[in-house]
């Protein structure tokens, strides 16, 4: 059983917290003020982009100040009645003699601000004024208009995106512990593309390390410059452990990879995630139907068929789990993508050679790659004099010559 690295390398001490030192000091001072009495503002509202340590900061400081942390997902408590029953009661009850003072954390506050919010925000605003213990709220965007009254009653603390250099340093430490050799260029690519989200950077590094223990820039090219949504491990977990078809289907909309890449990840991991042979057969059958739809979409530009393909590769795979027990099994990097990453540089060189030689040889570049390059490699490896003449004639650069001579 393999732990997600976001948990395995989660800091356990305040001094190990990465970045956002100012926000940490502000929250630290606010918590400390509770040990001396009741501060003017009884609630703290933390905001900032995902993956920068807002929740972790609360957990570390709660332990430092000996608070008994009660952590709740705000999206699960939308109504006034539910909030009063759970949060209101906890905030008013005094701890038993000798027990630790409690601290209430309401995370993912955006989950309450949609059309399903039935008085929740108004109730939380009221609780921030009469709570008898520290109350911490967390959201990505504190400037949501629905939070206007809430902001004024809270101590607002801003968390910033983490600097790229801080992320690189943290990733380098993980690589040392895991025995991974990685180039600085590859670290730069991983760190820059996550836009300050350390959690996503760690997840990406773990995904890449499933393929190999030596990583260069060519091995991380597949990541591209995607919109940050949800890490691939989380998305796969949604597909393989979904209770409903709708839940599995939603994986496509929250995935941070396109549907073709998601298909590769699902296909690669079906055999290890579904141990029962009948379940595996049903899942592979669903994936085969998805593949047929994908091919028809591309061949006939029949985009209306795309939804059927997505249904098969998500809901079809999810519903195949009937007899396989639910347990954690680490996800594997797609082997086909691994092979493509390893050969990408070589394929790019072959393409460039084909384009460079097509005018001289009056042939298509693809035909040159198939029919001419194998003979050129033989000449370059066995006849240095001819190789020199051809290099000058075709104006080949150093990388092209190196490819042809190895």
Q: End of a domain among 158, 186, 207?
A: 158
Number of neighbouring beta carbons within 10 Å of residue 193: 18
Confidence band, pLDDT 50/70/90 cuts, at residue 270:
very high
What percent of the residues of the chain are helix, what percent strand, and what percent coil, each to the nearest 5? 65, 10, 30
Q: End of a domain among 285, 312, 333?
A: 333
Q: pLDDT value at position 144? A: 78
Structural domain for 377, as ranges = 337-405
* 317 shares its domain with 341: no
How many Å from the N-terminal Cα to the C-terminal Cα in the chain?
41
Phi-psi region of 48 (alpha: psi -120 to 50; beta: other; left: phi over 0): left
pLDDT at residue 117 greater than cutoff 60: no
CATH of the domain at 217: 1.10.8.60
Under DSSP, the state recorded for 290 is H
Residue 248 lies in a domain: yes
The count of domains in the chain is: 4
* 27 shares its domain with 154: yes
Residue 231 lies in a domain: no
Range 77-89 average pLDDT: 60
The pair phi, psi for residue 178, each rounded to 5°, is -90, 0
* 90 shares its domain with 108: yes
Residue 158 parent element (H or E): strand 155-158
Residue 113 lies in a domain: yes
Residues 14, 81 contacting (CB under 8 angstroms): no
* 151 shares its domain with 174: no
- Could you tell me the CA-to-CA distances from 46 to 32, 66, 228 in Å, in that order? 16, 20, 21
* 44 shares its domain with 124: yes
Residue 13 three-state SS? coil
pLDDT at residue 193 greater than cutoff 70: yes
pTM score > 0.85 for this model?
A: no
How far apart CA 288 and CA 298 sit, in angstroms, is: 16
* 261 shares its domain with 314: yes
* 308 shares its domain with 380: no
How far apart CA 18 and CA 56 sit, in angstroms, is: 10
* 293 shares its domain with 310: yes
Q: End of a domain among 283, 306, 333?
A: 333
Q: Which range in 124-128, 263-267, 385-389 is most confidently predicted, on average pLDDT?
A: 263-267
Residue 188 lies in a domain: yes
How far apart CA 110 and CA 108 sit, in angstroms, is: 5
């Amino acid at each position: 059983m393999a732990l997600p690295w976001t948990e395995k390398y989660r800091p356990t001490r305040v001094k190990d917290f990465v970045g956002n030192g100012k926000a940490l000091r502000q929250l630290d001072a606010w918590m400390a003020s509770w040990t001396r009495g009741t501060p003017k503002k009884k609630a703290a509202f933390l905001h900032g982009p995902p993956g920068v340590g807002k929740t972790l900061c609360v957990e570390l400081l709660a332990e430092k100040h000996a608070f008994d942390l009660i952590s709740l997902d705000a999206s699960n408590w939308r109504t006034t009645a539910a909030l009063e029953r759970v949060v209101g009661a906890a905030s008013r009850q005094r701890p038993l003699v000798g027990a630790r003072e409690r601290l209430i954390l309401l995370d993912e506050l955006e989950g309450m601000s949609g059309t399903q919010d039935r008085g929740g925000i108004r109730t939380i605003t009221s609780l921030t004024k009469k709570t008898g213990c520290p109350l911490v709220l967390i959201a990505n965007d504190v400037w949501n208009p629905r939070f206007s009254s809430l902001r004024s009653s809270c101590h607002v603390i801003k968390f910033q995106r983490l600097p790229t250099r801080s992320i690189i340093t943290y990733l380098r430490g993980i690589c040392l512990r895991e025995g991974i050799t990685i180039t600085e260029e590859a670290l730069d690519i991983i760190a820059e593309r996550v836009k300050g989200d350390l959690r996503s950077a760690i997840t990406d590094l773990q995904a890449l390390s499933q393929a190999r223990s030596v990583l260069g820039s060519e091995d991380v090219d597949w990541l591209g410059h995607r919109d940050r949504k949800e890490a691939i491990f989380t998305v796969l977990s949604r597909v393989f452990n979904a209770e409903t078809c709708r839940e599995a289907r939603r994986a496509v909309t929250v995935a941070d990879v396109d549907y073709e890449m998601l298909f590769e990840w699902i296909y690669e991991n079906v055999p290890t995630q579904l141990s029962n042979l009948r379940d595996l057969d049903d899942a592979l059958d669903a994936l085969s139907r998805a593949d047929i739809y994908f091919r028809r979409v591309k061949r006939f530009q029949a985009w209306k068929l795309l939804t059927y393909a997505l249904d098969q590769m998500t809901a079809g795979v999810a519903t195949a789990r009937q007899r396989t027990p639910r347990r954690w099994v680490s996800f594997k990097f797609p082997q086909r993508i691994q092979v493509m990453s390893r050969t990408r540089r070589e394929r790019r060189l072959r393409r460039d050679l084909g384009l460079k030689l097509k005018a001289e040889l009056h042939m298509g570049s693809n035909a040159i790659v198939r029919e001419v390059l194998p003979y050129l490699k033989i000449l370059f490896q066995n006849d240095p004099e001819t190789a020199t003449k051809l290099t000058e004639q075709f104006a080949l650069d150093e990388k092209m010559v190196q490819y042809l001579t190895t």
